[in-house]
Amino acid sequence: MKTAEKQQNPNRSLTQDQIDTFRREGYVSIGKLIADSELDELRSEYDRAFNEARESAQYRNLSADGGAAQRHDEGAEEEMLQIMQMCERSLSFRRLLYHEPILDIAEDLIGPNIQLFHDQALFKPAHHGGPIHPHQDNAYWRCLPATLVSCWLTLDDVDVDNGAMHLLPGSHLAAMGHERGDVLLDAGTPDPAESRVVPLPAGGALFHHCQTLHFTPPNRTDRQRRAFAIHFMTPGTRSPGGELPIGFSRPLLRGHM
């Protein structure tokens, strides 16, 4: 599938330079990847899911309690809202998991067999969007091997003022083993001040390694910031204790188990 796709659309997959950047820095920014014609449906499904979740308090505010995940707390001053597994709430988001250009890039980074670890919607409302503090995803996930790759997609124009992604180049080369909510400023840990910011247009994509230290600032603008992350793993990925925790459907997205 990919080879034929590549012959027809040679620009869809990464160049060797982009792959080298990812290996060296732990991330690669792709820029615009989702066409405007596809964005309207995704935005309206996203808004529908958050409206439904708001009524039933079915999302978590990741800005609550110093970064520890909590259920939505009505009236919170800062909101960094998370819905896990949009693919189980919306066919549009389920289809997005199989988006060929996204999977082509994931294949360039983790190989031909690609399984979903999980997905999540990450919403910073206008004016009081809360921050996400510096962290390595795999410090929470503890997956083995630590080769997962995330695709972070934007449904709005995103810049430094409304919550763009900041990443610390090269930080994926060592696991920091931190806990949720730890402040990663101690001597010996990478300095978030060395981070690079990645602005993206609506429909933009950024791929990062599961150990790349990253964070996003608050959103104090009058523009909302809607983002969606797909976390890809290779089949056979395990927890230190054995099988991955159950609870999510983890479909094979390309290749074989």
Q: Are 159 and 225 in contact (CB under 8 A)?
A: no
| Alpha-carbon gap, residue 214 to 205, rounded angstroms | 15
- Per-residue interface string for the shown chain with ligand AKG, residues 143-172, x marking contact by CB under 6 A: --------------------x---------
Per DSSP, the residues of 155-200 read SS-B-TTTT-EEE-TTGGGS---PPTT----STTS--GGG-EEE-B
CB of 43 to ligand AKG, least distance (A): 16
CB of 23 to ligand AKG, least distance (A): 20
Phi (first) and psi of residue 24, to 5 degrees: -80, -40
Dihedral sign computed on CA atoms, order 85, 88, 92, 95: positive
Q: How many residues bind ligand AKG (CB under 6 A)?
A: 8
Residue 43 vs residues 36, 37, 76, 203: alpha-carbon distances, Å: 11, 11, 24, 10
Contact flag: residue 116 with ligand AKG (CB under 6 A)? no
**CB closer to ligand AKG out of 1 and 181:** 181
Segment 15-54, which members bind ligand AKG (CB under 6 A)?
A: none
Judged by CB under 6 A, which of 132, 151, 155, 200 binds ligand AKG?
A: 132
Judged by CB under 6 A, which of 139, 168, 229, 233 binds ligand AKG?
A: 229
**CB closer to ligand AKG out of 28 and 229:** 229
Judged by CB under 6 A, which of 92, 216, 224, 234 binds ligand AKG?
A: 216
CB of 234 to ligand AKG, least distance (A): 19
Judged by CB under 6 A, which of 149, 200, 227, 253 binds ligand AKG?
A: 227
Q: Are 159 and 186 in contact (CB under 8 A)?
A: no
Greatest Cα-to-Cα distance within the chain, rounded to the nearest angstrom: 52
Q: What is the CA radius of gyration of the chain?
A: 17
CB of 129 to ligand AKG, least distance (A): 8
Going by C-beta distance under 8 Å and a sequence separation of 6 or more, which residues neighbour residue 3?
Answer: none
Judged by CB under 6 A, which of 122, 158, 200, 206 binds ligand AKG?
A: 122
**CB closer to ligand AKG out of 1 and 174:** 174
Two tokens, residue 54: 């708001």
Judged by CB under 6 A, which of 214, 218, 232, 233 binds ligand AKG?
A: 214
Nearest to 138 by CA among 148, 152, 128, 129: 148
CB of 112 to ligand AKG, least distance (A): 25
Per DSSP, the residues of 209-235 read ETT--EEE--B-SSS-EEEEEEEEE-T
Q: What residues line the site for ligand AKG (CB under 6 A)?
A: 122, 132, 137, 163, 214, 216, 227, 229
